[in-house]
């Protein structure tokens, strides 16, 4: 079921680095709030004090020795806390929760790109979130070189990019392919969006779907 019994809706926005997720999450939040809906915007890794601390460890380019299993547990730890402290209680109050990334990111980055078993990451994360998956996921897709180009012009948290953004182009190609594979496997939940278009056009594609869900 997409809507919770209290009328809440859990939406995630996914995509490779530089795909414009954060802009789209904010545009969607604004549109829904203008229509009188209560909206909570959160991000992964992060969204709680614990999660934001974990984010600092995960993305710090100084920790270049971090193994993929270590990443899986840290992303999963931040996610477990976010779901139990913030997402679930909000959904139970009928709030619309928009998360900038969720489980699909772990499967694409640590699984398809990082070389660990996607099924195992899926199972581990469903345990961490007590089975919570988004009712709808928007996958913002664009060619890898376009995403990396956008990153270079955007002032990020770390000069020169965070630890994940700094990985080579082959890694980012596998991330994109992984996301596309996930969209193919779960077309009911994951809606593919052409993120090469201007932000307003991308927003229209997303809004068309969300409007139908409410
Ligand atoms: P952001 O830049 O979209 O805030 O995300 C932080 C980085 O963390 C981004 O490069 C993607 C990466 N990431 C993973 O590798 N696995 C995950 O599970 C999540 C949520 C993010």
pLDDT of the residue at 155: 73
Distance of CA 26 to the CA centre of its chain: 13
**What φ, ψ does residue 154 adopt, rounded to 5°?**
-100, 130
**For 100-168, what is the HEC assignment?**
ECCHHHHHHHHHHHCCCCHHHHHHHHHHHCCCCCCCEEEEEECCHHHHHHHHHHCCCCCCCCCCCCCCC
pTM reported for the whole predicted model: 0.96
Q: Does domain 9-213 have CATH number 3.40.50.300?
A: yes
Indicate if ligand 1 lies below 6 Å from the C-beta of 99: no
Q: What distances in angstroms separate CA 125 from CA 9, 69, 162, one per listed residue?
A: 20, 13, 23
Q: Exposed/middle/buried for 6, CB within 10 Å: 0-12, 13-18, 19+?
A: exposed
pLDDT of the residue at 1: 59
Atom of ligand 1 at shortest distance to CA of 75? 18
Distance 19 CA to ligand 1 centre (A): 12
- The first and second tokens of residue 67, run together, are 């193994």
- What are the average pLDDT values for consecutive 10-residue runs of the chain, which has 214 residues? 83 96 97 97 98 97 97 98 98 97 98 98 98 97 94 83 91 98 98 97 98 92
Indicate if ligand 1 lies below 6 Å from the C-beta of 103: no
Domain boundary assignment for the chain: 9-213
- The first and second tokens of residue 187, run together, are 């077309």
User: What are the strands of the beta sheet with 9-14, ordered from one edge?
Assistant: 39-43, 96-100, 9-14, 136-141, 190-194
């Amino acid at each position: 079921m997409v809507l919770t019994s209290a009328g809440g809706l859990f939406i995630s926005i996914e995509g490779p680095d530089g795909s414009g997720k954060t802009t789209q999450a904010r545009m969607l939040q604004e549109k829904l709030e203008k229509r009188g809906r209560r909206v909570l915007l959160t991000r992964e890794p992060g969204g709680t004090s614990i999660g934001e601390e974990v984010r600092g460890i995960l993305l710090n380019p100084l920790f270049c020795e971090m193994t993929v299993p270590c990443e899986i547990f840290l992303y999963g730890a931040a996610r477990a806390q976010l779901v139990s402290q913030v997402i679930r209680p909000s959904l139970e109050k009928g709030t619309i929760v928009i998360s900038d990334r969720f489980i699909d990111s772990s499967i694409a980055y640590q699984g398809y790109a990082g070389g660990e078993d996607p099924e195992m990451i899926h199972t581990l994360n469903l345990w961490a979130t007590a089975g919570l998956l988004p009712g709808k996921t928007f996958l913002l897709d664009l060619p890898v070189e376009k995403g990396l180009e956008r990153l270079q012009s955007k002032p990020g948290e770390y000069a020169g990019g965070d630890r994940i953004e700094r990985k080579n182009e082959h890694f980012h190609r596998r991330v994109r392919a992984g996301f596309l594979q996930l969209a193919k496997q779960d077309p009911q939940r994951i809606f593919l969006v052409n993120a090469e278009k201007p932000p307003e056009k991308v927003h229209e594609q997303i809004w068309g779907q969300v409007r139908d869900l409410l």
